[in-house]
Amino acid sequence: MAFITPKSEFYAEGKQKAEGILTATREEAGCLRFELYENKAKDQLILVENWVDQAALDEHYSQPYITPIFEFCRYPRA
């Protein structure tokens, strides 16, 4: 599970980036579950994910479409 808590002015951008990886991620061979939820009271995005094994998760992290969400999370927005 991953929690993304951007400042409110960056919330829409964070949600857009998270939504942008849903389809491709769900199509990965090792993906069992990949869901996006929102806790609007806390301006928080929650990614719930399950993978067949660590190798599948590692492969997921190496996909080029993951880069924008990682870059978004890397810079201070909280």
pLDDT reported for residue 41: 87
User: pLDDT digit string (tens) for 15-56?
Assistant: 999 999 999 999 999 999 999 999 988 889 999 999 999 999
d(CA 10, CA 27): 27
| Cross-strand pairs, 37 | 46
User: pLDDT digit string (tens) for 4-22?
Assistant: 988 888 899 999 999 999 9
The length of the chain in residues reads 78
| pLDDT at position 67 over 80 | yes
Q: What is the domain partition of the chain in residue ranges?
A: 2-74
| The pair of three-digit structure tokens given for residue 58, joined into one six-digit string | 């590692």
Nearest to 10 by CA among 60, 44, 47: 44
Q: What CATH code is assigned to 2-74?
A: 3.30.70.100
Statement: the pTM of the whole predicted model exceeds 0.85: no
d(CA 11, CA 26): 23
